[in-house]
Structure 1
Amino acid sequence: MTMHFSVLASGSTGNAFYVETEEHAFLVDAGLSGKQMEALFSGIGRDMSKLSGILVTHEHSDHIKGLGVVARRYNLPIYANEKTWNAMERSIGEIPVEQKFTFEMEQVKTFGSLAIESFGVSHDAAEPMFYVFHQEDKKLVLITDTGYVSDRMKGIISNADAYIFESNHDVGMLRMGRYPWSVKRRILSDVGHVCNEDAAIAMSEVAGDKTKRIYLAHLSLDNNMKDLARMSVEQTLQTRGITIGQQFSLYDTDPKTPTELVTV
């Protein structure tokens, strides 16, 4: 049994993530237009009509922009918790009742050999949650859009084979940037986004013997850069006794280009 994944798009302009096993394939979030989503799937040589469903993390537009269009076009089941359904229904348009499924926080749903576990994060949405994918002894974690990583979250996500991990902003760039102070305060808050250094500290506390890949995700277009994020994370990890390349490797994600489809 093998599990493959690709970060189709990640950043403040739109987010989408793909995971597949031999039996099932899931999209997590559809934060770009239907046309863009189809191009991303084409980029990894996959067909959206073969999806088993779409998992939703929360109702912010950079995660659900193309959700309604894609779900209707390909007749796909959508999985989200009840509060998220209530918060996003106006934005995604009419969804046939037979395509609407509830996936509550801290639940596990099983699809063949794939078990999908949901867990709550700290973000200013109705009831935001992310996912851990388990197949046999393999574990893949998706965690972005959280103001901090709590001990409870760390317990759930510890020692995964691969992480897609929020590394949203550089605090200096954010403070000096063009955003109004109210927006800066939101991003820096406990219900905002994790900065590069805090991401690295959390990584150092959850990475284990199994961990081989960490993808730096949801980088702010205005308040971060790939090279800066990577350098900040590497330096912080080094101060905590972790050398990149020895235990695990760091990978970039992009708002427009999917990562290579890799095996967990």
Structure 2
Amino acid sequence: MLKYCSVGSGSSGNCHIITYKDTGILVDAGLAGKTITAGIKNAGFDIDKIRGIFITHEHSDHIKGAGIMSRKLDIPIYANLKTWCSMKDKIGNVKEENMVVFENDKTYALGDIKIRPFSIPHDSEDAVGYNIYSENQKMSIATDIGYVTENIRRNLKNSKLVVLESNYDPNMLMMGSYSYSLKKRVMSEGGHLSNEEAASFCTELVDGGTETILLAHLSKENNFPELAYATSKNVLTNNQMIVGQDLMLDVLSRERVSKVYEL
């Protein structure tokens, strides 16, 4: 059974745990090493089965604990070349054999799990989302996306579980304390996905076979969980998709370990 858990999701740090049979992986490690280690144990996963860390992009809320976890567990960090070049000086010493470069849009096997990175639009060197496969199930992680591209649509189709960014409420962002340039960045095609944009895409995902949608990477300043949830639920309901019947909809916490979702 493919299992997923979030240790934390938001601008203060991101880390996802996925396990299948005897293989576990982390997607991003943007929290303190102690926090990630505690999260793995609190979720009931065996830390000794974590076989690798897959990085989406080089921003600190995604890589802060990557070097620490690699050294602690003696496991490889996987990223594409541009991301590696941008992050290698930020994560401390990593053994050469634990620095693994992948190419986007190719599928890789690690133990019992297959992983496929795909390109996403974000203001970093070469950001990716991930498709993760067991023998007969597929889940996807797509956060830090400026807008939903056709490539994202193709990659997320038929994913049973999708972790999808729902970063900000436009009104809260415009009325908030961010500088004008930062507001423009968040709303740009290299920025983040708004609640409304996420909600609209949710309907496409359900049409494409998704059964569980986990709203992720909520802004601390420009969003709150109830609003992100209500926005997506209302749009789904207006499209005759009933939350709790046609799909499960949840919001991942910035600070707390999520429940374990099973496929």
Indicate if the aligned counterparts of 2:119 and 2:151 stay in contact, CA closer than 8 A: no
Q: Which ranges in structure 2 are unaligned for 5 or more consecutive residues?
A: none
SS in 2 for 1:245: coil
Match of 1:226 in 2: 225
1:38 deviates by 1.5
Match of 1:253 in 2: 252
Indicate if the aligned counterparts of 1:211 and 1:247 stay in contact, CA closer than 8 A: no
Q: Map 1:97-246 to 2 at 5 A.
A: 97-208=96-207, 210-246=209-245
Letter in structure 2 aligned against 1:243: I
Indicate if the aligned counterparts of 2:113 and 2:133 stay in contact, CA closer than 8 A: yes
Match of 1:45 in 2: 44
In structure 2, what is the Cα distance between the partners aligned to 1:235 and 1:112? 40
Indicate if the aligned counterparts of 2:10 and 2:216 stay in contact, CA closer than 8 A: yes
Letter in structure 2 aligned against 1:145: D
Q: Which ranges in structure 1 are unaligned for 5 or more consecutive residues?
A: none
Indicate if the aligned counterparts of 1:75 and 1:99 stay in contact, CA closer than 8 A: yes
Q: Deviations over 1:38-57 (max 9, x none)?
A: 12112212243321110011
Kindly report the root-mean-square deviation, in angstroms, between the aligned alpha carbons of the 2 structures. Answer: 1.3
Letter in structure 2 aligned against 1:142: I
Q: Deviations over 1:49-83 (max 9, x none)?
A: 32111001100000001111111111111100000
1:112 deviates by 4.2
Indicate if the aligned counterparts of 1:142 and 1:163 stay in contact, CA closer than 8 A: yes
Indicate if the aligned counterparts of 1:87 and 1:126 stay in contact, CA closer than 8 A: yes
1:235 deviates by 1.4
Letter in structure 2 aligned against 1:74: L
Letter in structure 1 aligned against 2:222: N
Match of 1:68 in 2: 67
In structure 2, what is the Cα distance between the partners aligned to 1:87 and 1:79? 13
In structure 2, what is the Cα distance between the partners aligned to 1:12 and 1:236? 25
Q: State percent identity of aligned pairs.
A: 36
In structure 2, what is the Cα distance between the partners aligned to 1:153 and 1:45? 31
Match of 2:6 in 1: 7
1:159 deviates by 2.2
Question: How many residues are treated as equivalent by the alignment?
Answer: 263
1:151 deviates by 1.5
1:111 deviates by 2.6
SS in 2 for 1:52: strand
**TM-score if structure 1 supplies the norm length?**
0.96
In structure 2, what is the Cα distance between the partners aligned to 1:119 and 1:42? 29
1:153 deviates by 1.1
In structure 1, what is the Cα distance between the partners aligned to 2:51 and 2:81? 20
Indicate if the aligned counterparts of 2:51 and 2:110 stay in contact, CA closer than 8 A: no
SS in 1 for 2:213: strand
In structure 1, what is the Cα distance between the partners aligned to 2:40 and 2:135? 26
**TM-score if structure 2 supplies the norm length?**
0.96
In structure 2, what is the Cα distance between the partners aligned to 1:241 and 1:189? 30
Letter in structure 1 aligned against 2:124: A
1:36 deviates by 1.3
1:256 deviates by 1.6
1:240 deviates by 2.8
SS in 1 for 2:129: strand
